[in-house]
Structure 1
C-alpha cells in the first residue's frame, strides 16, 4: 500500500476539519484518520471532505484514558497507508462548574493535555519514520502577549488535576485553559528532547492557529459571551494573527506535510512564522514535572 496517513484529533469540525481538507487537497497520497468523540459527526465530516476512500473515522474520547488505549489498539486493523503524522488538535475550554474526565481529572487539563499525552505514548510505536507530530497550542499560553485571557499559572501538574472545591469561575476556567496551553508547549518540547531532536526520525513542533472567530472553542461560554463571539469577533479578522479556520487549517496542514519542513523540530509556529514561545515554556523543570505526573496517571490505567 502506498501513500501516508495522518491522525487528526477533533477532526470533525473547525481547525481539525480544515487541516484534514487541506492535507487531502495538497497531495493525493494523503489519507486522514478522523479521530473523533462522536462518530456520527465524524461520518458527516468525512462526507463533507468528499474524498472517498481517503478518510477513516475512528472513535476517540480524549476525556477517557481507556478510550485512548482502545483507539490505539484499533490502529493495526485499519486498512490505511503507513502512519506518518499525528496532529494533537482537539481542545475545549470549561469556564464554570466542576467537570471532570472519566478518570476524575479536571476536564480542560484532561482533554487538552493528558488525553493527548496518552495518545502520543500509545501511537508513537506505530509511526513509520520519517514522521511528524504537531501539537496545537495557543498564543494565550504567553503572558507577554495581549490576548484578553488571564496568564497561565503552573506550579505543579498535581495542582491541575482537580477543579477547585467550589467549581470553576469564569476567570479561573479561562486560566485553566491558558495553563493547559502552556502544558501543550512544555509537552511538545520535552517530547522533542526525549526523541533526540529528530534523531529517531520523528519531529515535534507546536502551532498557534491564532484567534479563530469561526471555531467552536466558545461553546461553553454563557449566552451573552457566545453572541459576542459570533457577531463581534469576525470583525477582528483585520488584526494580526486573527484567522479563519480555513486559513489556519491550511497553515497547520503545511506543518504536517510541507517538504520544506523536513527535519524541522522543536519549533513553535505562529501561522507560518517560527517564533519564540513564552519563557516558562522552555523551563525543563516544569516540563519534567508535567511529564512525570502525566506518565504516572497514564500508567495507572489498566
Structure 2
C-alpha cells in the first residue's frame, strides 16, 4: 500500500527514469509523480516502469514559472499520499547560442536552477516530515576537479539571469555555473530548514559522467554520436557511470533509510565528499536566493 509520494523532475528519461524505476522496485510504499514537460512522453515512461497504479504524470516545464505554478496547483488537488520527497533532477546544457525561458530568463540558469527553486520553495509547506530534498548537481561545478569543462563564473545572480548575447556560445560555462547554483541553493535551503531540525533534509548529488544520457541533445551530430557510442568506453574510469547505476544511487539518497538524518552533504555517487570552495560561500548563496525570490515574485505578479 502506497503511503508516501516522491516528485522527480525529468523522470520520463535518463537519470530521473532510472531513479523512479529503482524506487518503485525497491519499496512498494512510494508513489512517484513524474514531473515532465511532455505528458505523453511521461505516459510512455509509466508504461515502461510497469507500475501504473503507483505513478502519476503531471506537466511541469521548468522553463516556465507559470507551468511550475500550475504543477503545484495540480499536485495539491490530486488525491495522492503525503509528499515526502522531491528530486530536482531535470536539467539541460545549451551549447549553441544563448536561449531564454518563457519568462525571459537565460535558459540554462532558468531551467537548471530557477525552475527548481520555484518548485521547491512553493512546495515546502506541503512537504511532510520526515522529508527529503535531493538536488542533482555535477562535479563540473568544482574548478579544482579535472572534468574537461570550463570553470563556473558567478558574478551575480542578476547577471546570470540576463539573456545572453546572441553571439555568446559559451554554453558549457553556463552549464557549470548552473551546477554551482545547484550547490549554493542546496546548502542555503538546508540552512533555512535548520539543518534537518525541522524534519526535512537536503542533499546534493553528482551522478558522474553518464555517456548515453540526454544531456548531449544540444550537441552537434558528431558530438552526439561520440557521446552515444564512444564515451561509454570510458566507464572504466572513476566516476563514469551507467545511467542505471547513477539512478540507483540517486534513489538511495531519496528513500533509503540508511540516509535518514543526513543533510547538508554532497555526494559523488554513493560517497560523501567536499564540494567546491565557492559552493560554501554564504554571501553568494544569499545573493542567489534573494534574486531568485525576486524573479519568481515578478513572474507571478
Q: CA deviation at 1:76?
A: 1.9
The residue aligned with 1:202 is 200
Mapping of 1:6-17 within 5 angstroms? 6-17=6-17
Deviations 1:16-46 (A, max 9, x none): 0000000001111111000000000000000
Partner of 2:52, secondary structure, is coil
Deviation at 1:192, TM superposition (A): 0.2
- Aligned position for 2:173: 175
Instruction: Give the corresponding residue for 1:272.
Output: 270
Structure 1 residues 25-40: aligned runs within 5 Å: 25-40=25-40
Give the match for residue 231 of structure 1: 229
Task: Calculate the TM-score normalised by the size of structure 1.
Answer: 0.98
1:289 has 2:274 as partner: no
Retained in 2: the 8 A contact 1:137–1:184?
A: yes
Q: Give the 3-state SS of the residue equivalent to 1:53 in structure 2.
A: helix
Query: Any idea what the Cα deviations from partners look like across 1:94-146, whole Å, max 9, x if unmatched?
Result: 11113100000110000000000000111111111110000000000000111
Matched, 1:93 2:93: yes
Task: Spell out, residue by residue over 1:244-263, the C-alpha distance to the aligned partner (whole angstroms, 9 max, x if none).
Answer: 11000000000011111111
Matching of residue 44 in structure 1 with residue 44 in structure 2: yes
RMSD across aligned positions (CA): 1.0
Q: Distance in 2 between matches of 1:166 and 1:2?
A: 48
Tell me the equivalent position of 1:4: 4
Deviation of 1:79 (Å): 2.0
Runs of 4+ in 1 over 4 A off after TM superposition: none
The answer as to whether partners of 2:2 and 2:54 remain within 8 angstroms in 1 is: no
1:41-190 correspondence runs (5 A): 41-169=41-169, 172-190=170-188
State the alpha-carbon separation in 2 of the partners of residues 167 and 62 from structure 1: 24
TM-score (norm. length: structure 2): 0.98
How far residue 162 of structure 1 moved from its aligned partner, in angstroms, is 2.3
The DSSP-based 3-state class of the residue aligned with 1:155 is: coil
> Alpha carbons of 1:130 and 1:168: their partners in 2 closer, same or farther (altered >3 Å)?
same
Structure 1 residue 167, shift from structure 2 partner: 3.3
Task: Tell me the residue number matched to 2:258.
Answer: 260
CA contact (8 A) 1:95 1:168 kept: no
8 Å CA contact 1:17–1:45 kept in 2: the answer is: yes
- Matching of residue 214 in structure 1 with residue 212 in structure 2: yes
CA distance, structure 1, for counterparts of residue 2 and residue 87 of structure 2: 21
Q: 1:274-302, CA deviations, whole angstroms, 9 ceiling, x for partnerless residues?
A: 00000000000110000010000011123
User: In 2, Cα distance between the equivalents of 1:210 and 1:252?
Assistant: 11
- Give the number of equivalent residue pairs: 300
CA contact (8 A) 2:98 2:171 kept: no
Equivalent residue for 1:299?
Answer: 297
What is the DSSP-based 3-state SS (H/G/I as helix, E as strand, rest coil) of the residue aligned with 2:84? strand
CA shift for structure 1 position 2: 4.9
Q: 70-79 vs 51-60, which deviates more? A: 70-79
CA distance in 1, matches of 2:282, 2:34: 33
Following TM superposition, by how much is the alpha carbon of 1:227 offset from its aligned partner in structure 2, in angstroms?
A: 1.4
Check whether the contact 2:2–2:28 (CA below 8 A) recurs between aligned residues: no
Q: CA deviation at 1:52?
A: 2.6
SS at match of 1:128: strand
Structure 1 gaps, min length 5: none
